[in-house]
Amino acid sequence: MTESKTDIRLFNLGQLQAQLGKYNWPKFRAKQIYHWLWKKHARSFGEMNNLPKDIIEGLENNFEILPIRVKDEQVSDDGTIKSAFETADKKIVEGVLIPTEKRMTACISSQIGCSLACSFCATGKLKRLRNLTASEIVDQVVEINNQATTNYKKSLTNIVLMGMGEPLLNYSEVMKGIDMITSEDGLGMSPRRITLSTAGISKMIRKMGDDMSRINLALSLHAANDEKRSKIMAINDQNNLDELAEAMIYYYSKTKQMLTFEYIIFRDFNDSLDDARDLARFCKRVPSKVNIIEYNSTDDEQFAKSPEDRVDAFVEFLTKQKIVAKVRRSRGQDIDAACGQLANKNKAELK
Ligand code: SF4
């Protein structure tokens, strides 16, 4: 009977030293192994060519590395690269590389599927299968960084947790992953370059404040009155706008970090001047800026893209109210780069 092996990347350096201590290997080996795992992103113990053979064998017999791999890759006309990643247990998650002149941004996932079922989101149509581990979160960054350097000769500059899943419902693994992405023992990226986007879990926004988070926080708002927001985001029933505003005021008091509100603008749903007025009122409650995001139409036509003149009038209204608002044009439209769409195509494998 074969004994089950332990995922070696579940351990931080101290825990790994304790684990490896059981085998009486010299202490410095743990550091070397850790370096291979997190700096060089080794996918097998055999690659660790500065370790003696007996240690490699010992590792192979007792531990395993469970990386995600790129299963499918689509390149948009605008250079956006969308990947379907396969986990070791054969589930699909998605990640996107968004190259612009100034930035190389990775959009990564935090869960396989999502339990929140926002009505405009393709991922919301997939049930949540499980949370991603911290190492699977880091792996997406490593793979997308490889795509950036291979295709554009540039490294990643920014990371947004805006792919599949609600990151605040996988808080501990997401934070562990971010520690690894920002740590000098890991990828060494600045936390200021990382944005976590939430559908709005007020309790966890407060927790981020208590934990003195150094990353940026964005709220997927999409409507600034409760009736409308609850229509498209069921989570609003337990976390209404007042509660969210209070949680964000608390978060700001702890971190002094400005919030971002994401607002997908849909035709005849949330693109009127009354909607802009609601949004301006909400924004004034906490130091913030707004990203107005053009809707990327899916096959499932419950929503439509707002016409350009409506979007322009909406933004003009906000600007007159002294709200900082920018329009983000959709990227990767020809390859279904909207949240959840690629994995939806692979959904047979998600079952
Ligand atoms: S928008 Fe985000 S929170 Fe809502 S269903 Fe999609 S992935 Fe989940």
Of the listed ranges 30-39, 94-103, 115-124, 168-177, the least confidently predicted one is 115-124
149: left (phi over 0), alpha (psi -120 to 50) or beta: alpha
The number of angstroms, rounded, from the C-alpha of 44 to the middle of its chain's C-alpha atoms is: 26
Q: What is the DSSP string of 129-174?
A: -EEPPHHHHHHHHHHHHHHHHHHHS----EEEE-SSS-GGGGHHHH
Q: HSE-up of 81 (CA within 13 Å, CB side)? A: 22
Q: What's the CATH architecture for 6-64?
A: Orthogonal Bundle (1.10)
pLDDT given at position 299 = 61
The encoded tokens of residue 285 equal 């409650």
Residue 348 pLDDT class (50, 70, 90 cuts): very low
Are 6-64 and 69-350 equal in CATH topology? no
Which residue CA neighbors atom 4 of ligand 1 most closely? 118
Tell me the pLDDT tens digit for each residue of 290-303: 999 988 766 667 88
Nearest atom in ligand 1 to 220's CA: 1
Q: What is the DSSP string of 70-93?
A: EEEEEE-TTS-EEEEEE-TTS-EE
Nearest atom in ligand 1 to 198's CA: 3
Tell me the pLDDT tens digit for each residue of 142-163: 999 999 999 999 999 999 999 9
Whether the per-residue pLDDT at 76 is higher than 70: the answer is yes
pLDDT given at position 255 = 96
Do 180 and 170 touch, CB atoms closer than 8 A?
Answer: no
Of 218, 83, 215, the closest CA to residue 140 belongs to: 83
Segments making up each domain of the chain, as ranges: 6-64, 69-350
What's the rounded mean pLDDT across residues 174-194? 93
Instruction: Give residue 65 CA to ligand 1 midpoint distance, Å.
Output: 29
Could you please state the CATH topology (level 3) that the domain comprising 69-350 is classified under. TIM Barrel (3.20.20)
User: How far is residue 49's CA from residue 28's CA, in Å, rounded to a whole number?
Assistant: 15
Instruction: Give residue 47 CA to ligand 1 midpoint distance, Å.
Output: 38
